[in-house]
Amino acid sequence: MTSENPWTLYWQSGNLYSCIASQDAKDQAYIDEFWAEFANGMAQGAQLLDLASGNGAVPVALLAANTSLSISAVDLADIAPDRLAEKFDTLGEVQFFPETDICDLPFDDARFDGVTSQFGLEYAPQSAALREAARVLKPGAPMRLLLHHNESGIVRPAETVIAEIEALTRPDGLIEHLKRFVREQGELRDLEAAGRDYLDDPAGKSKHISGQIMAGISRVIDDRQSFPERALALASGMEQRLVAESVRLSQLRSAALDEASASLLQMAAIEAGFGSVSIDEQFVGDQDPALVGWALHALRL
């Protein structure tokens, strides 16, 4: 088990996007358009704050549409946007604040011309986060949030991945046999048998999880004799990342809003000092639309 923030592990791995409904390019294109519309509505040189920003997916989309924006980005995790700087050069223009609680922002009152967040604010104590967002916004300034929907194409697949990880990490499962092998408490034949049993199980398996684990096990087997310490570190790291990913996806599932909780969030925004508050379901595609999440729009009173 790991006590490290699972989101820190995720961002430190060099990810920009945390939650896309599918790998279809139209999903990301829709989200980019969602933020471009907001960016194009801002004045030249406007100062924006992105909450729970991760490695800066929203700032990248905003700056692609309006290069004049000045963006600050905060996240509770120890994020690593520098790892993506070569691929996304506009990240160098963003002022990042890692390990920063969105319920306790290090900014003066009425500092910003707009606030954004993508799949982030719903993880925090929502009333407190909304009050802080209202505090740092100028009167009349807009806030736009993209939030998890409990029926979306992002949240539903999380259940399958969590089950996949549970199968890998269960007592006497494949990961347990791997640990025994690298500690010289189990034989290679036992590890191979556990691998066959796992692969023969009809439960769903993904390239992202099971495929990478199988590739990692092959490296551990190759390293065990000549580089035992490296093999042990690799096996331990695999387990750590599996547990962290399960925790991350469980948090995602818990944070997702149904219709009732979306309405409560809307009321919390009004109580925090926002007006013209609307929250609506957002879809991608025309023929077979995919549910992306909830979009909340509001203005600071």
Q: What is the pLDDT of residues 149-207, one digit of tens each?
A: 999 988 888 889 999 999 999 999 999 999 999 999 999 999 999 999 999 999 889 98
Model confidence at 25, pLDDT cuts 50, 70, 90, reads: low
pLDDT of 2 over the 60 cut: no
The pLDDT of residue 209 is 93
> Are β-strands 142-147 and 114-118 bridged in parallel, bridged antiparallel, or unpaired?
parallel
pLDDT at position 27, please? 72
Question: Does residue 3 register a pLDDT over 80?
Answer: no
**Max Cα-Cα span within the chain:** 68
**Exposure pattern of 56-79 as b/e (b: 16+ CB <10 Å)?**
bbbbbbbbebbeebebbbbbbbeb
The share of the chain scoring above pLDDT 90, in percent, equals: 85
What is d(CA 26, CA 217) in angstroms, rounded to the nearest whole number? 35
19 — pLDDT class (breaks 50, 70, 90)? low
What is the crossing angle of helices 212-223 and 228-255, to 10°? 160
pLDDT at 105: 98
Tell which residue, 243, 221, 91, has the closest CA to residue 168: 243
The yes-or-no verdict on residue 23 having pLDDT over 60 is no
The answer, yes or no, to whether residue 103 has pLDDT greater than 50, is yes
Q: Which amino acid is at 40?
A: N
Per residue in 229-285, pLDDT tens? 999 999 999 999 999 999 999 999 999 999 999 999 999 999 999 999 999 999 887
Q: Tens digit of pLDDT for each residue in 38-77?
A: 999 999 999 999 999 999 999 999 999 999 999 999 999 9
pLDDT at 22: 44
